[in-house]
Amino acid sequence: MQPITEHTGRCVALRRSDVDTDQIIPAEFCKRLTKTGYEDTLFAGWRKDPGFVLNDPAHAGATVLVAGHNFGTGSSREHAVWALRDWGFRAVIASSFGDIFLRNAWKNGLLAVRLPEDVVADLADRADAASGPSSPSTWSPARCVETACGRPFRSTTAPGGCCSTVWTTSA
Amino acid sequence: MATGYTLAEKVWQSHVVHEAENEPDLLYVDLHLVHEASSPQAFDGLRSAGRRVRRPELTLAVEDHNVPTDTTVITDLMGRHQVETLRRNCAEQGIEIFPLGDSRQGIVHVVGPERGFVQPGMTVICGDSHTSTHGAFGALAFGVGTSDVEHVLATQTLALARPKTMAVEFTGEPSPDVTAKDLILALIAHIGANGAHGHVIEYRGPAVRRLSMEGRMTMCNMSVEAGARAGMIAPDDTTFAYLADRPHSPRGADWDTAVEFWRSMCTDPGAVFDRIVTIDVSALTPFVTWGTNPGQAVPLTGAVPDPSSVSDGAERASAERALSYMDLVPGTSMRDIAVDTVFIGSCTNGRLEDLREAAAVLAGRRVAPNVRMLVVPGSMEVRRAAEEQGLHRVFLAAGAQWRLSGCSMCMGMNADRLPGSERVASTSNRNYEGRQGPQARTHLVSPAVAAATAVAGHLAAPADLPGRESDAADH
Ligand code: SF4
């Protein structure tokens, strides 16, 4: 596991709520026996649509996923976290997460940041506004700072044992 | 102020082996259930750390996710490799396994209880989200990912933050055509697919007390679809009657001691829950899903909802997306939705009682000409018991397929997948996009509604079906 203590990266907005782990990685890819090499499987169903946000070259290299509420609900497959990580994501920001996903993320150094719904919406807007093929250099960088490393269960508001986190953006 | 403990707190507290401020509790695990899909990387991790399974005798493995249900030969290479890997790992670590072809094989959450492995007051862990099923016995059962599976294999413990508690009080008497599946679908529609987030639910009330163990397992199984960490029901005489004489149940004097202890596994009168949800079930009718998460459900007598009537922006967008995926138009009567396939099975509704309910509807009737129906017993033991009662003859005479046991069409990991954008009425637990096939459209239903739907060719309740020829002859 690559521990995460601080991260600066670009956001991409996935404007969907209740994104279940069957979408993050369809079951057919969970037959593999390894813990790595899942980058090709991330959102495999949705990526068949050329208009899907992660197919947009303007978002290539994004490392922070901003998603709707209840992200990672459903199946306990840790492959979902492995796929997000292998694609290059270091953090996911949403207003709520599936409990087992949260635990799996924490176990693998994928930072799951819970923020109020309006803050997430604002971040998603800024991620969209700052992207686009014409202005890839103006993407909004996101900076996640994990404050409680080494004491990951400090936050009483984080079931599943997610680190308590502070979120800042360079406006 | 609380003057007692909830059931969840009692089980939790009696399993804490280490607690400290600002740290998760370390819980002892009484039973670790293992299957082929979530365990290979865990065994690898164990090996590379030079460790062995700490308590193999408290660990049970089954093959269920990858197995075909029309043969005992796995032709899919990756699936076979995963199953063979599990066999090797179990042989190496001395873990009991019920492999494909064994008379005890079946879905992990069906096999554990039916062999008597799961008992009141236990902690149960499995690398599978529907581990919540086992809460039906008054056990505290958590689904976990592969890293946690490795931790349990290595230590027989798990570090967990203490969850919150939630009481779901079912009030009123449900009508006889309302099953456990309808109760839980109605609850999830009421509180939402993340409505019990961070909580252990305890299901309470006379409607729960009247449920069989099968019904209770259906209910606890879908706790995770409400976002709960676990679901529980306090054990009672129904529980003890189910457990009596199971292969792994205590016997003789041990049985009496066990029952006495089990009776203490209930919520004390003065205990306080973090949250209480009350739901009146006296007016409830069979429930079905219309969307792509289990909370998107309505009564079968209802219609596809109009997203524009949803005030919350995210929920509206989600409903619009779901309707587009499901190819449904708002206002369509649920009963007018035609299906291609009917699936009866899974850890939610693949038990003997479920098959009996379906067979009672199908007896003397036939599956509609354009509908394919699969009946997949939750375990080979369920299959054997069903055949003893002649249920297989009812299914076969109706034109349904009678299969071997496995997860089957619940999830697209084996050969039982829906082709194209077929629509299915399914007794499983997840109506996610692509869950039963890359473009499959799922409606979650009870076994009785599934059987009636197979006959009618569109979503239907048993009461919607015309009388049978045999009924007419009777009068
Ligand atoms: S039947 Fe379905 S939900 Fe149950 S364990 Fe198998 S795949 Fe999971």
Buried b (16+ CB within 10 A) or exposed e, B69-100: beeeebebebbbbbbebbeebbeebebebbbb
C-alpha to C-alpha distance for A106 and B76, rounded to whole angstroms: 33
The closest alpha carbon to B178, from B298, B281, B279, B286, belongs to B286
Q: Under an 8 A CB cutoff, do A107 and B147 touch?
A: yes
Contacts (Cβ under 8 Å, ≥6 apart) of B252: none
Domain CATH number, residue A73: 3.20.19.10
pLDDT in the model for residue B469: 64
Chain A closest-CA separation from residue B145 CA (Å): 5
The closest alpha carbon to B222, from B447, B459, B444, B36, belongs to B444
pLDDT in the model for residue A130: 65
Is residue B95 within 8 Å of B57, Cβ to Cβ? Answer: no
**Strand ranges of the sheet holding B140-143, from the earlier edge strand across to the other edge:** B96-98, B59-62, B31-35, B123-126, B140-143
Taking the centre of ligand 1 as the mean of its atom positions, its distance from the CA of residue B109, in whole angstroms, is: 8
Residue A26 in any domain: the answer is yes
| Closest by Cβ to B37, choosing from A30, A100, A158 | A30
Residue A36 in any domain: the answer is yes
In chain B, what are the domains?
7-275 (3.30.499.10), 288-474 (3.30.499.10)
pLDDT in the model for residue B275: 98
Q: What is the chain B residue with the closest CA to A73?
A: B227
Taking the centre of ligand 1 as the mean of its atom positions, its distance from the CA of residue B346, in whole angstroms, is: 6
Residue A33 in any domain: the answer is yes
Residue A91 in any domain: the answer is yes
Overall number of domains in chain A: 1
CA dihedral (B321, B322, B326, B330) positive or negative: negative
Using a CB-CB distance cutoff of 8 angstroms, which residues of chain B are in contact with residue A117?
Answer: 314
Q: Show the tokens assigned to B353.
A: 């009682």
Q: Which residues of chain B have pLDDT under 50?
A: none
Contacts (Cβ under 8 Å, ≥6 apart) of A118: none
Q: Under an 8 A CB cutoff, do A159 and B127 touch?
A: no
Chain A closest-CA separation from residue B386 CA (Å): 29
Q: Under an 8 A CB cutoff, do B411 and A27 touch?
A: yes
With a CB-CB cutoff of 8 Å, which residues 75-104 of chain A face chain B? 75-78, 81, 96, 98-100, 103-104
Is residue B342 within 8 Å of B361, Cβ to Cβ? Answer: no
Q: Under an 8 A CB cutoff, do A17 and B315 touch?
A: yes
Does this model's pTM top 0.90? My answer is yes
Taking the centre of ligand 1 as the mean of its atom positions, its distance from the CA of residue B347, in whole angstroms, is: 6
- Residue B198 backbone zone (phi > 0: left; psi -120 to 50: alpha; other: beta): left
| Closest by Cβ to A74, choosing from B23, B85, B432 | B432
Q: Show the tokens assigned to B111.
A: 């096999």
Q: Which atom of ligand 1 is nearest to the CA of B410?
A: 2
Which of B39, B66, B124, B128 maximizes ligand 1 atoms within 8 Å of its Cβ, making it the mutation to test the pocket?
A: B128
Residue A169 in any domain: the answer is no
Residue A171 in any domain: the answer is no
Chain B closest-CA separation from residue A33 CA (Å): 6
Taking the centre of ligand 1 as the mean of its atom positions, its distance from the CA of residue A153, in whole angstroms, is: 30
Question: Which residues surround ligand 1 with Cβ inside 6 Å?
Answer: B 64-65, 107-109, 128, 130, 346-347, 407, 410-411, 428-429
Q: What domain range includes position A83?
A: 11-136
Taking the centre of ligand 1 as the mean of its atom positions, its distance from the CA of residue B139, in whole angstroms, is: 19
Residue A145 in any domain: the answer is no
Q: Whose CA is nearest to atom 6 of ligand 1?
A: B407
What is the per-residue DSSP string for B155-210?
HSEEEEPPPEEEEEEEESPPPTT--HHHHHHHHHHHH-TTTTTTEEEEEESHHHHT
Which of B33, B105, B107 maximizes ligand 1 atoms within 8 Å of its Cβ, making it the mutation to test the pocket?
A: B107
Q: Under an 8 A CB cutoff, do B82 and A33 touch?
A: yes
Q: Which atom of ligand 1 is nearest to the CA of B35?
A: 5
Q: Whose CA is nearest to atom 4 of ligand 1?
A: B347
Within 13 Å and on the Cβ side, how many CA atoms surround B58?
20
Q: Under an 8 A CB cutoff, do B197 and A159 touch?
A: yes
Contacts (Cβ under 8 Å, ≥6 apart) of B89: B39, B40, B43, B95
Q: How far is CA B85 from the centre of its chain?
A: 26
Q: What is the chain B residue with the closest CA to A44?
A: B438
Residue A76 phi, psi dihedral angles, 5° rounding: -80, 5
Q: Which residues of chain A have pLDDT under 50?
A: 132-141, 143, 145-171
Q: Under an 8 A CB cutoff, do A99 and B227 touch?
A: yes
C-alpha to C-alpha distance for B50 and B250, rounded to whole angstroms: 35
Taking the centre of ligand 1 as the mean of its atom positions, its distance from the CA of residue B378, in whole angstroms, is: 10
Q: What is the ipTM of this complex?
A: 0.94
- Which residue of B63, B86, B131, B224 to mutate against A (max A Cβ within 10 Å)? B224
Q: Show the tokens assigned to B18.
A: 């280490």
pLDDT in the model for residue A5: 62
Is residue B137 within 8 Å of B113, Cβ to Cβ? Answer: yes
Q: What is the chain A residue with the closest CA to B43?
A: A33
Q: Which atom of ligand 1 is nearest to the CA of B429?
A: 3
| Closest by Cβ to A26, choosing from B78, B159, B412 | B412
A37 CB near a chain B CB, below 8 Å?
A: no
pLDDT in tens, B127-152: 999 999 999 999 999 999 999 999 99
pLDDT in tens, A91-101: 898 999 999 99
User: Which segments of B326-391 are extended strands (E)?
Assistant: 341-344, 372-375
Q: Which residue type does B42 have?
A: A
Q: Under an 8 A CB cutoff, do B432 and A96 touch?
A: no
pLDDT in the model for residue A112: 86
Residue A146 in any domain: the answer is no
